[in-house]
Chains A and B, each alone.
Chain A
Amino acid sequence: MSLLYKRLLGAAFWLLCNGTAFADGVMQGWTLSDPKPTASGAPIGQTGDDSAKPSVHDYARGEALYSLPDVQMVDKEGNDIEFRQLIDYGGPVMVQFIFATCSTICPVLSASFASAQPELDALAGGQYRLISISIDPEQDTPERLRAYAERFNAGKNWHFLTGRRDDVIKILKAFDASYAGNNKMYHKSLTFMRSGSGASWLRIEGLLSKNEIVAEYKSLIASPGQAKN
């Protein structure tokens, strides 16, 4: 057997043994080196227990530090809000990008926030903030965001922001959440969490169940991210 043949056979054997694990890794969430948006990893016709999601995540997790812009936003009551002040209030915070007329993923993103509220109240003693930022700010007036918030029974810790489109774009860029062609239809399913001011962000790409969002929050609080210098 020639050396080349042995090597090829060895490579094939390695792939056979490790290929499944490799594929699992792909399905658990992965990142691309190209700038295209990564999908939430739930394949069509996925397997999984119907009563609860499998322990294998359908989402990608990552950690990052983001430098957030000083921009003025508007909340659902029509009040001017300093974005940095809202985020850097000291306690844990979660951020999602949504728009109120979105047909597929935003309702599920918002429903994950909505369903986690009671558990977060119990866990955090009311010391947490959920922030949903509209990526369609011209359409999503404070009035429309109020209706959206009502639909999801948003509690007092859940903030909804709209504002100038350029400022929303700045925030999207800061979170590395820009989407192709400035067409909001290509936005990604992203949830960001942080234990407190200065800590690094947990970046989650994909859709989360209630238990997953709560579990991620718990793990975040248990091991707060490294503070910035």
Chain B
Amino acid sequence: MPFDNSAIGEQIYNQGIDSSGKPLEGRTEGDIEFKDAHFNCAQCHRRSGYGSSEGGNYVLPVTGDSLFNPRNFDRADLFKKLFKESQSKLFWARMRSAYQRPAYTDESLARVIREGIDPSGRKLSSLMPRYKISDRDMAGLTDYIKHLSSHNDPGVDENTIYFATVVSKNANAGDKNAMLSTIAKFVEWLNLETKGNLDHPNFSPNYRSDFAKAFRIWNHEVWELSDNPADWLKELAAYYEKQPVFALIGGMADGDWSPMHEFCENNKVPCLFPLTQMPPAEQSGHYSVYFNQGLLLEAKATAKYLLKEKSADPAAAMAVFYSEDAEGSNPAKAFTEMLNADKTRAIDSVPVKDMESFRHEWMKYVESHPEVGTVVVWPGRLKGAILSELTALFQKTERIFLPSELLQADLAGLPQEMMPKLYFSYPYELPAAYHPHAFRVRAWMDTRKLEVSNARIQFNTYYALNLLQYSLEHVVDHFSRDYLLEYIEHEAENALNPGTFPRLSLGPEQRFASKGAYLVQIDDPESQSVKPVSAWIVP
């Protein structure tokens, strides 16, 4: 079998595994020996090859273009590091250092990787490892680096960058409209600003002209999917073939988000902050970034809350009723697995097919258990009718735990004596919390005559767009999807938190920005306000 140079190069660069399947070996900081696949090139120089900056250390780009040409400086590329990052004076001095070097050759690249000596004879920082790497592997790695980020990714041309938002027909119309109208306004105003900058090339407040080469008009489309999830992959492929997009932004579909996740992984398309309760169960992707784990997070937070309860009688019966669809069974499974870790607890799992079977199973359970303590319900597709059904069934239970989605129902009609028995997982910021900059989102919406119809959806959408815009600005004209994701990872914590979550934060290869949930009870059914009964739980 012929030796595939670039494939082995990619494996070394991104995974730190050489052609013999062994982890990379080398030395860092002068005398720290390692044999560890984590010490791969991408760890510091990132998948895009455009480098990074962390803790006052500037990691230089290693794209083919930057290495195989003499070193040059582009102020627009360094602008953020020079003026916006919170770095030390020494870091900034290094950014401005006029150190030059000739272009790398295959031989000098091998030397710098093995010995840390660059083509001008300088020794690199000891932070850069010196690797033990065979000639064959070096050839593969060189080949891979030569082509790394050598051209723009699909979805962008000289004037335009293309985005899309995926919505399914069966998603709630009001919610869809709240999200799409926010995106439409954002894109409209951003394009007006871009056109203004392009029309006045010599008028350059805030160094805008430095970035002229990076300006693109955003073209945003809505990719509407049918009611049949089995067709979604095919439908997405058809949209993409017609007009490739650089990234997907937001998104909403009733049910499992897995087809979109799969599409994005297959096509290496960033999928940024879809508004879904059902990201894939296991985080296995690189290209999709979510607000949180949705129902799985709620299941785990509820389980942790119950596990931590001091007063609970572990021997008391606990029932988990769940709808047999994925939306019900996935959180039920995660919840039960976590509780089963505590061997002292007895849990009865009760799957139900429809509302009639829910009613029937509930009655049966209550009859066979004279004292029902805690019941946990994952209603899945039955979520629309479950609360009204419970009004007739709640009397014989002490507590009922439900997912946060049900708080959006009409709570005012529920019986007064039922309220104290209801507990909800709540993976959001509490209504009373104060986020000093959150008003800016409302101000933005007010000035654009955008009615606040669903604050959480609109604010989250704004956060995603704002972060995308900021990150794209700093990618400048290096339209690499990986580079964009790296900026998003880096800046998620810095971006304006609109107050929907206590904190949004990512990091290298982190794909869920909010990691916890409260347990709450209804405070005032009229205004749908809630009160916490737990601290912020991170399962």
Residues of A in contact with B (beta carbons under 8 Å apart):
26, 30, 32, 36-53, 58, 99, 101-105, 107-108, 111-112, 114-115, 136-139, 141, 151, 164-165, 179-189, 207-211
Q: List 9 A-B contacts (CB under 8 A).
A: A30-B90, A39-B91, A42-B126, A50-B123, A99-B507, A103-B44, A104-B127, A139-B505, A183-B493
Report chain A residues within 8 Å CB of B43: 103-104, 107
Q: Is B32 touching A186 in the complex (CB atoms < 8 A)?
A: no
Contacting A at CB under 8 A, from B516-539, are 516, 535, 538-539
Q: Is B510 touching A139 in the complex (CB atoms < 8 A)?
A: yes
Q: Is B125 touching A183 in the complex (CB atoms < 8 A)?
A: no
Give the CA-CA distance A128 to B99 in the complex, in Å. Answer: 43
Report chain A residues within 8 Å CB of B539: 141
User: Closest approach, in angstroms, between the C-beta of B104 and any C-beta of chain A?
Assistant: 14
Give the CA-CA distance A141 to B512 in the complex, in Å. Answer: 14
Q: Which of B43, B59, B90 is packed against the most chain A CB atoms within 10 Å?
A: B90
Report chain A residues within 8 Å CB of B90: 26, 30, 38-39, 41, 43
B130 at the interface (CB under 8 A from A): yes
Q: Is B508 touching A46 in the complex (CB atoms < 8 A)?
A: no
Select which of A39, A51, A141 is within 8 A of B87 by beta carbon.
A39
Q: Is B87 touching A44 in the complex (CB atoms < 8 A)?
A: no
A108-B29, A139-B515 are contacts. A44–B126 as well, Cβ < 8 Å?
Answer: no
B348 at the interface (CB under 8 A from A): no
Give the CA-CA distance A26 to B97 in the complex, in Å. Answer: 16
Select which of B55, B493, B505, B535 is within 8 A of A105 by beta carbon.
B55
User: Closest approach, in angstroms, between the C-beta of B345 and any C-beta of chain A?
Assistant: 17
Report chain A residues within 8 Å CB of B89: 32, 36
Q: For B60, give the chain A residue with the smallest CB separation.
A: A44
Select which of B29, B60, B117, B508 is within 8 A of A111 by beta carbon.
B29
Name which of B33-41, B138-146, B264-272 contacts chain A: B33-41
User: Closest approach, in angstroms, between the C-beta of B434 and any C-beta of chain A?
Assistant: 15
User: Closest approach, in angstroms, between the C-beta of A38 and any C-beta of chain B?
Assistant: 5
Q: Is A45 touching B87 in the complex (CB atoms < 8 A)?
A: no
Give the CA-CA distance A195 to B90 in the complex, in Å. Answer: 31
Q: Is B28 touching A48 in the complex (CB atoms < 8 A)?
A: no
Report chain B residues within 8 Å CB of A207: 29, 126-127
Report chain B residues within 8 Å CB of A44: 58, 60, 94, 97, 99, 124-125
Other A-B pairs, 14, CB within 8 Å; known A42-B127, A164-B535: A37-B86, A38-B90, A39-B56, A43-B94, A44-B94, A50-B30, A101-B510, A104-B55, A105-B57, A107-B38, A112-B32, A136-B505, A189-B56, A207-B29
Q: Is B88 touching A48 in the complex (CB atoms < 8 A)?
A: no
B282 at the interface (CB under 8 A from A): no
User: Closest approach, in angstroms, between the C-beta of B153 and any C-beta of chain A?
Assistant: 21
User: Closest approach, in angstroms, between the C-beta of A203 and any C-beta of chain B?
Assistant: 15
Contacting A at CB under 8 A, from B42-71, are 43-44, 46, 52, 54-60
A108-B127, A112-B29, A165-B503 are contacts. A38–B510 as well, Cβ < 8 Å?
Answer: no
Give the CA-CA distance A207 to B505 in the complex, in Å. Answer: 26
A-contact 0/1 string along B250-263, CB 8 Å cutoff: 00000000000000
Give the CA-CA distance A36 to B91 in the complex, in Å. Answer: 11
The 4 closest A-B pairs by CB, nearest first: A39-B56, A180-B86, A53-B30, A45-B122
Give the CA-CA distance A43 to B85 in the complex, in Å. Answer: 18
Q: For A101, give the chain B residue with the smallest CB separation.
A: B507
Q: Is A108 touching B28 in the complex (CB atoms < 8 A)?
A: yes
Report chain B residues within 8 Å CB of A37: 55-56, 86-88
Q: Is A48 touching B55 in the complex (CB atoms < 8 A)?
A: no
Report chain B residues within 8 Å CB of A111: 28-29, 32, 34
Q: For A186, give the chain B residue with the smallest CB separation.
A: B86
A48-B30, A53-B31, A151-B36 are contacts. A141–B538 as well, Cβ < 8 Å?
Answer: yes
User: Closest approach, in angstroms, between the C-beta of A4 and any C-beta of chain B?
Assistant: 32
B221 at the interface (CB under 8 A from A): no
A39-B87, A107-B38 are contacts. A185–B54 as well, Cβ < 8 Å?
Answer: yes
Q: Is A101 touching B503 in the complex (CB atoms < 8 A)?
A: no
B499 at the interface (CB under 8 A from A): no
Q: Is B507 touching A184 in the complex (CB atoms < 8 A)?
A: yes
A-contact 0/1 string along B269-294, CB 8 Å cutoff: 00000000000000000000000000
User: Closest approach, in angstroms, between the C-beta of B52 and any C-beta of chain A?
Assistant: 6
A32-B89, A45-B118, A101-B508 are contacts. A38–B54 as well, Cβ < 8 Å?
Answer: no
User: Closest approach, in angstroms, between the C-beta of A205 and any C-beta of chain B?
Assistant: 9
B509 at the interface (CB under 8 A from A): yes
Report chain A residues within 8 Å CB of B235: none
Report chain B residues within 8 Å CB of A185: 54, 490, 493, 507
Report chain B residues within 8 Å CB of A99: 507
User: Closest approach, in angstroms, between the C-beta of B384 and any C-beta of chain A?
Assistant: 32
Q: Is B538 touching A38 in the complex (CB atoms < 8 A)?
A: no
Report chain B residues within 8 Å CB of A36: 86-89
Give the CA-CA distance A207 to B38 in the complex, in Å. Answer: 18
Q: Is B507 touching A102 in the complex (CB atoms < 8 A)?
A: yes
Q: Is A58 touching B507 in the complex (CB atoms < 8 A)?
A: no
B453 at the interface (CB under 8 A from A): no
B116 at the interface (CB under 8 A from A): yes
Report chain A residues within 8 Å CB of B538: 137-138, 141
Give the CA-CA distance A209 to B55 in the complex, in Å. Answer: 17
User: Closest approach, in angstroms, between the C-beta of B14 and any C-beta of chain A?
Assistant: 12
Q: Is B86 touching A181 in the complex (CB atoms < 8 A)?
A: yes
Select which of B31, B46, B508 is within 8 A of A211 by beta carbon.
B31
Q: Is A52 touching B30 in the complex (CB atoms < 8 A)?
A: yes
Report chain B residues within 8 Å CB of A136: 505, 507
A112-B29, A139-B507 are contacts. A45–B88 as well, Cβ < 8 Å?
Answer: no
Q: Is A48 touching B126 in the complex (CB atoms < 8 A)?
A: yes
